[in-house]
Amino acid sequence: MILIDSSVWIDFFNGKITTQTVYLRDYANRSEIATGDLVLCEVLQGFRSNTDYQAAHELLLDFQFYNLGGKVIALQAAQNYRQLRQQGITVRKTIDMLIATFCINQGFQLLHSDRDFDVMEEHLGLRVVHPFPKSS
């Protein structure tokens, strides 16, 4: 499964062309796309137009849905945050830590465009989708 982070969905709904939005639009296997409560909230709260909100709402709920938080994930996310802080790394957003911890625990890949996840990939083993690897 591939969890699509709100950073990618926001770019997607704003029509921004990035490697992540192109991958989401043209290459991702629809049956492997997942979303969750925290992502849903982050994405939908930004819509001004009711029409755009409704269209995004319908699309997002068409994918497999997961609760990304809960006690187990919260406790592990706190440990992950502490582990990074001990290495001198501060993650800016708690929601990103929860999303990454969920993905790590579930073995999901994450498609994102948020630099906070880069350190989680490097130090915590977060599996990240790199849509179009650079050729050598």
Domain boundaries, the chain: 2-128
Q: Report helix, strand or coil for 26.
A: helix
Query: What gap in Å lies between CA 88 and CA 103, rounded to an integer?
Result: 23
φ, ψ dihedrals at 82, nearest 5°: -60, -40
* Mean pLDDT of the region 12-25: 97
- Give the CATH fold of the 2-128 domain: Rossmann fold (3.40.50)
Query: What gap in Å lies between CA 3 and CA 127, rounded to an integer?
Result: 10
pLDDT category of residue 104 using cuts at 50, 70 and 90: very high
Contact between 97 and 81 under an 8 Å Cβ cutoff? The reply is yes
Q: What is the mean pLDDT of the chain?
A: 95
Contact between 128 and 109 under an 8 Å Cβ cutoff? The reply is yes
Predicted TM-score of the model (pTM): 0.94
Residue 135 pLDDT > 90, yes or no?
Answer: no
Q: 109: part of which helix (H) or strand (E)?
A: strand 109-111
